[in-house]
Amino acid sequence: MQTRDLVLIALFAAIIAALGLVPAIPLAFIPVPITAQTLGVMLAGVVLGARRGGLAGGLFLLLVAIGLPVLPGGRGGLSVFFGPTGGFLLSWPFGAFVTGLMAERLALSSASATRQTLGFFLSATLGGIGVVYLIGIVFLAAVTGMGLPKAMLGSVAFIPGDLLKAGIAALAGRAVMVGYPLLGQRTA
C-alpha cells in the first residue's frame, strides 16, 4: 500500500467524521436517526474503490471504538456498537467496499458521462443503501426484539433521503473521475 492510499483512506475517514457534525434527525417510530454520515460511506466507495473505501469505513469505526466523539451528538466508544444502531455502523466498511466494487465495474472511464453517473448511482444504492440496510435492519431487529418486518417497515422512511445521498455521491464520483482522474485509479 502506497502513502497516497493511506492519505486517501484517512481523508475519507475524516470526511465521514465531518459529516457527523451535521445534526442527526431523530424519528419517533424507530431508534435510528437520519444522519449525513452514510453519504461519506457512499463517497468513499465511489471515489476510492472497494479496497480503499472499505478501509476508510473501517478506520472510521476504529476512531469510534477508541472513543472519539465522531458520531452525531458527539457520541463514540464501544457502547454505540451494542445499541440499536450498532449494525448500521458496523455495516459501513462493507457498504463502502461493495459500493466501490460495483463502481469499479459499472462506472468505467471509457463509458459515456450518463452511463458513468448511472453506474455510480447504482453502486451507491446497492452498497451504501442495500448492504447497510441489510446488516443494520437484521441487527436492529435482533437487539430490540421488534422483529424483521417491523424493523424493515421502520427503515422505509430513510429510503428517500438515502437515494438523494446516492445521487450526490454519483455526481461527486463523476466529477472526480473527470476533474482528477488519477484519484480514480484504483490499485489492487
Domains and CATH numbers, the chain: 3-184 (1.10.1760.20)
Cell numbers given for 139: 441487527
Q: What is the pLDDT of residues 87-134, one digit of tens each?
A: 999 999 999 999 999 999 998 888 899 999 999 999 999 999 999 999
The per-residue pLDDT for 31 is 65
pLDDT at 186 over 70: no
The per-residue pLDDT for 30 is 67
The per-residue pLDDT for 185 is 60
Give the model's confidence band at 188: pLDDT under 50 very low, under 70 low, under 90 confident, else very high.
very low
Report yes or no: 69 and 75 within 8 Å, Cβ to Cβ.
yes
The per-residue pLDDT for 178 is 86
Rounded to 10 degrees, the C-alpha dihedral 97/98/102/104 comes to 10
Q: What is the pLDDT of residues 38-92, one digit of tens each?
A: 999 999 999 999 999 999 999 999 999 999 999 988 899 999 999 988 999 999 9
Strand partners, 120: none
pLDDT at 32 over 80: no
Average pLDDT over residues 28-44: 85
The per-residue pLDDT for 22 is 87
Cα gap 180→159, rounded to integer Å: 30
Cα gap 94→51, rounded to integer Å: 10
